[in-house]
Structure 1
Amino acid sequence: MNEHFSKTEMPLSRKRYVLGVSRFIFFTSIAILIFFIPFQINGNTEILFGFIYNTLIDFFGIVGIWMMTVLILTNALLSVVGKFISKEGTKLHSHYAKDSKVYIPIYFVGAAYSILYTLQVSIPAFNGPEAIVGSGTGELMSGIALAVMWVIPLGAIFIPFFVNYGSIDFIGTLLQPIMRPIFKVPGKSAVDAITSFLTSSSVAVLFTTKLYNMKYYTKKEAAVITTSFSAVSIGFAAVVIDTAGLMDHFGKVYFSSFLVAFIIAFIMIRIPPLSLKKNVYIDDSAQTPEDRVAETYNKNTLGIAVNSAIDQAADANDFFKEIKKSLKEGLAVLPKVLSMLFAIGVSVLILAEYTPTFEIIGAVIAPFIQLLRVPDAALIAPSLALGLAEMFLPVLYISDMVGTLDVQARYFVTAVSMVQIIFFAETGAVMLSTGLPLKLWELIVIFTLRTLIAMPLVAIFMHLLF
């Protein structure tokens, strides 16, 4: 919706102009400092956002694990009350009313997994089922969930620095002529991609959710942006690339994956299920044709972008009100996100670790990979389906074979896993828990389509670069 841009047509008084400029510069500078500037901290290169949530994880230790479990268990119990017992119109009922009935048992499965793992690490005499609490299932999932537990409230605190004080309007106006015709989304969606690449995919999903709730994005745009631009961060990409033994080719691997991700986005937006999404806002009000018109670059573009940012910053609520509102929204979805993460994440990891499910899928797609002339196709095929569970699993699957696998095969697995985007140990669960217009079956279909489209594209780059 372009209401934020149209306001720039109104003249700004000197007082509002000064207020808008100062807010825009101050809050944008802090946001850039928090999210985008790397620092040398304790011998490691980190952004402040990552340093803060990692510090919180370390500080709380086992207490943090218990906090997470209490949130998951409380969510499961309240979901029953909110969905079936509480009266319509109450906050509790409203919070759970839109949840599918299928979510209730999922919440309880998540609670069971979390309790078992927490008891395992808290009580020496307790021995939970290895399939649930093992290093490749519960332990792996706990590490991811703990990070998300702090990423969501911290993201809720810092995201308003971008959203409410002009940055998003500035970038959105500048990039509208590119993003709208190519990807059929507003220019401001580029911020989601930048946030994801430089911080974390969970933060990008939360970023999109906030803008969707504020009627910046329609249901179609929110679904497209979330499933197309919430990519793996550059920091984690380095870990993945290193695990595949490709660190000496980092630039080629990372930037070719970056390009493939945008080519896939261009295609996915134009085919079902994303193409069938409606261009209506969260309140079902329709997007007008004028809202979808892409501006063209001209000599006034920069000035319009600046004025749009200043106007938005001047109109924003008091800083503490914005933070309080954003934090309230973030904390409201946190228990649902953690429940989904544990339930779906651990379940899929159990399938990956203890059943031949993904080997069977791999056997089906191996001939397709062979047609693309990818070396060691039969060996690497099962890894590609593992990305549905956790983004790191495909590369982890081939890590023991790094010394013997062809460099082209290692590149193929790494690049495909980096552009699949939807994995239920994190982004998939967050997408389902935050109220975005996406269903479980749609995410599975989108993951499958992204993988199928990615394979020939990555194969082309594989043959060109290696």
Structure 2
Amino acid sequence: MKTLLLATSVSLMAISMIAMPDESLKASIRGLKMWWEIVFPSLFPFFVISELLIGFGVVKFLGVLLEPFMRPFFRVPGVGGFAWAMGMATGFPAGAKLTVRLREEKQLTKIEAQRLVSFTNSSSPLFIFAAVSVGFFNNPRLGLLLAAAHYLGNFFVGFIMRFYGVKKQKQEREKKPVLNISQALSALHQTRIHNQKPIGKLLGDAVMSSIHTLLAVGGFIILFSVLNKLLFHLHFTPAIASMLDYILPILQLPKEFGNSLVAGIFEITLGSQMASEVQGSLLLQQAIIVSFILGFSGFSVHAQVASILATTDIDYKPFFFARVLHGFLASLFTVLLWKPFSNYFHIQAMDTAVPAFLQEHDRWWEAILQAFIKIGPLFTIFSLVFYIFFYLRKINSSRL
């Protein structure tokens, strides 16, 4: 039955693409544009730097320093703090990639890696502030609420996931971690000594690994952009959304959010955009739906993470559970933080007087987004040329 279901689904998608080539092409271009302009130039530098920091032992150094914080709160080693910070700064799927890298370095056990990957994948500030708040809502201050609810929810996901796998782990009495700078410096030096690769080799491997991951990410973005569009035109999305007509009113949300919620479950960007365009709804209601979509992250991100985890022994199920939990927690925090944020940051009063310190920074993220749109494609081309150079060099050296 599973084989028949998969074969039928793929065949239906192929027939749909042939029957609707114009819609498929537009969706492909939309996904490619997002990857070309935003995803690649924003993630690539962080991926390369992360690889170099791991190779030079800086991550091990930070891991020793962060051990007193990460171990009590999340029950993961201190190196998890680096993956958590980079995941928040760069967005999906940086947390998964760094977790896998740390697992390969044997700095994490399987259980610790599954805990870590569950809360180190989050939306980047660039996406929350620039794409969602400015691009979809034209309301920069709304990003403050969305970001606070998103990252606060992510923290509590990590705290809850600390109880995952406790029974499987050996109940050993551990010493209370303490801050030890000399031990951290020793770990930094020892990691560098054990890594015999020269700097040029480290840089080449970092570029190859980063671009290889980003090419796969781009493929998933394009694929799910097309899939989402085809499901909408096949009336699959409205059919599922109709099932939510009885659930959303119970939560004091208009049933018109059904289509945007289902779209967001598949692809985060389209779902957030559709939620911002629902007529007759309150801004709070729109923020609740968007917070859930940002927390769940969409099956497009899930597929990216699953493909990265597939090369290791890290299970995908804890990540899926954590994303669902994050969606509900982010929505809850949006409700709890709405009144204080709305009053202090004047989220709804866009045309009235606002504090002077807010006016200067309203369009800061929009300027960053426009810079990425202008410079991003050139940066992507240059990086791909750089990748081809290292790839050909690797092939020639292997032949010799």
Given the two structures, how large is their TM-score scaled by the length of structure 1? 0.59
Q: CA deviation at 1:160?
A: 2.2
Aligned positions, number: 329
Q: What is the match of residue 319 of structure 1? A: 199
| 1:350 alignment partner, one of 230, 235, 242 | 230
Q: What is the match of residue 29 of structure 2? A: 139
Q: CA deviation at 1:262?
A: 0.7
| 1:406 alignment partner, one of 282, 307, 330 | 282
8 Å contact kept, 1:193–1:231: no
| 1:423 alignment partner, one of 298, 307, 323 | 298
In 2, distance between residues paired with 1:210 and 1:401? 41
In 1, distance between residues paired with 2:219 and 2:191? 36
Cα separation, partners in 2 of 1:443 and 1:265, compared to 1, 3 Å: closer
Q: What is the match of residue 396 of structure 1? A: 273
In 1, distance between residues paired with 2:241 and 2:223? 22
Instruction: Name the SS of the counterpart of 1:201 in structure 2.
Output: coil
Q: CA deviation at 1:409?
A: 1.6
Instruction: Name the SS of the counterpart of 2:93 in structure 1.
Output: helix
In 2, distance between residues paired with 1:333 and 1:246? 33
| 1:310 alignment partner, one of 185, 189, 208 | 189
Unaligned runs of 5+ in 2: 343-400
In 1, distance between residues paired with 2:232 and 2:149? 28
Structural mapping, 1:111-190, within 5 Å: 129-134=21-26, 137-146=27-36, 157-190=48-81
8 Å contact kept, 2:43–2:90: no
1:211-240, CA deviations, whole angstroms, 9 ceiling, x for partnerless residues? Answer: 121112222222332231211111111121
Give the aligned residue type for 1:313: R
Cα separation, partners in 2 of 1:209 and 1:441, compared to 1, 3 Å: closer
Cα separation, partners in 2 of 1:131 and 1:313, compared to 1, 3 Å: same
In 2, distance between residues paired with 1:456 and 1:157? 36
Q: What is the match of residue 369 of structure 1? A: 251
Asked if 1:295 is matched to 2:295, the reply is no
Root-mean-square deviation (Å): 3.9
1:296-340, CA deviations, whole angstroms, 9 ceiling, x for partnerless residues? Answer: 34xxx2333233223323443322232344455456666655555
8 Å contact kept, 1:384–1:413: yes
Q: What is the match of residue 338 of structure 2? A: 462
Instruction: Name the SS of the counterpart of 2:298 in structure 1.
Output: coil
8 Å contact kept, 1:362–1:384: no
In 2, distance between residues paired with 1:248 and 1:342? 30
Instruction: Name the SS of the counterpart of 2:277 in structure 1.
Output: helix
1:340-396, CA deviations, whole angstroms, 9 ceiling, x for partnerless residues? Answer: 5544553245335643144135335414522xxxxx443335434433322223320
Q: What is the match of residue 255 of structure 2? A: 378
Farther off after superposition, 454-463 or 228-237: 454-463
Q: CA deviation at 1:433?
A: 1.5
Instruction: Name the SS of the counterpart of 1:363 in structure 2.
Output: coil
Give the aligned residue type for 1:207: L
Give the aligned residue type for 1:216: Q
Farther off after superposition, 443-452 or 177-186: 443-452
Q: CA deviation at 1:182?
A: 1.3
| 1:217 alignment partner, one of 70, 86, 108 | 108
Asked if 1:244 is matched to 2:137, the reply is yes
8 Å contact kept, 2:24–2:229: no
8 Å contact kept, 1:432–1:438: no
Structural mapping, 1:11-160, within 5 Å: 129-134=21-26, 137-146=27-36, 157-160=48-51
8 Å contact kept, 1:340–1:429: yes
Q: What is the match of residue 151 of structure 2? A: 258
Cα separation, partners in 2 of 1:438 and 1:458, compared to 1, 3 Å: farther
In 2, distance between residues paired with 1:436 and 1:277? 22
Percent identity over paired residues: 17
Give the aligned residue type for 2:147: Y
Q: CA deviation at 1:131?
A: 4.1
Asked if 1:449 is matched to 2:329, the reply is no
Cα separation, partners in 2 of 1:442 and 1:409, compared to 1, 3 Å: same
Q: What is the match of residue 201 of structure 1? A: 92
8 Å contact kept, 2:295–2:323: no
Instruction: Name the SS of the counterpart of 2:268 in structure 1.
Output: coil
